[in-house]
């Protein structure tokens, strides 16, 4: 029973993924969505956001002291919440290292970006951040729960 609850909790893991202005302008939305979708993760929230500078800076508040903070212009975002087992950690793997020069080929930044200041995508870096970022960018009623009929083919019957 405890094990069932653990499985359920793991399946409900969610992360915040955002395609940054450079990714949107370069027409990479469908390419990026498709990588998460083909992996087997489930899209449970999505919107295009044009945030105020103040609001966008809340997202990156932990970087306030860094020299590049003022250059972090989240003026347009394709914001998403993805759900699935291990989605926070694996989402970061799909995205690749912060600096695209150090991202492996096959990752989103490795394949589609060149410099750190235009690395096209954001993904939460841990469970607490994921929770905070989802709450910052989405109201609870903007997130949906549904059964994806492919789930038993992705996770098995357990
Ligand atoms: N960034 C930058 N220069 C740096 C480090 C980071 O422009 O030297 C930007 C980059 O867009 C990065 C964002 O700041 O994605 C947030 O940095 P973080 O260290 O949180 O990396 P991430 O989690 O995005 O990989």
User: What residues make up the domain containing 38?
Assistant: 2-146
Domain CATH for 11: 3.30.70.141
- Judge whether 153 lies within some domain: no
The pLDDT tens digits for 16-59 are: 999 999 999 999 999 999 999 999 999 999 999 999 999 999 99
Order across the sheet with 42-49: list the strands.
42-49, 77-83, 14-19, 121-123
Annotated binding site for ATP: 20, 68, 92, 98, 109, 119
Listing DSSP states for 54-118 in one string gives: HHHHHHTGGGTTSTTGGG---SSEEEEEEESTTHHHHHHHHH--SSTTTSPTTSHHHHH--SGGG
For ligand 1, whether the C-beta of 119 sits within 6 Å is yes
Active site residues: 122
Both tokens assigned to 141: 């009623």
The pLDDT tens digits for 50-95 are: 999 999 999 999 999 999 998 898 999 999 999 999 999 999 999 9
Q: What is the best residue among 22, 98, 119 to mutate for testing ligand 1's pocket, by most ligand atoms within 8 Å of CB?
A: 98
- Judge whether 157 lies within some domain: no
Global confidence as pTM: 0.93
Cβ atoms of residues 128 and 117 within 8 Å: no
- Which ipTM did the prediction report? 0.98
């Amino acid at each position: 029973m405890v094990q069932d609850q653990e499985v359920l909790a793991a399946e409900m893991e969610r992360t915040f993924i955002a395609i940054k202005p450079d990714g949107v302008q370069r027409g990479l939305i469908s390419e990026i969505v498709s990588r998460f979708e083909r992996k087997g993760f489930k899209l449970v929230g999505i919107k295009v956001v044009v945030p105020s500078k103040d609001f966008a800076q809340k997202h990156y508040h932990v970087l306030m002291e860094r020299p590049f903070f003022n250059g972090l212009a989240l003026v347009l975002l394709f914001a998403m919440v993805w759900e699935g087992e291990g989605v926070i950690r694996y989402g970061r793997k799909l995205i690749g290292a912060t600096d695209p020069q150090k991202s492996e080929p096959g990752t989103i930044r490795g394949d589609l970006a060149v410099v750190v200041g235009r690395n096209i995508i954001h993904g939460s870096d841990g469970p607490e951040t994921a929770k905070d970022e989802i709450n910052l960018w989405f109201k609870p009623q903007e997130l949906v729960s549904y059964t994806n009929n492919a789930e038993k083919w992705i996770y098995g019957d357990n």
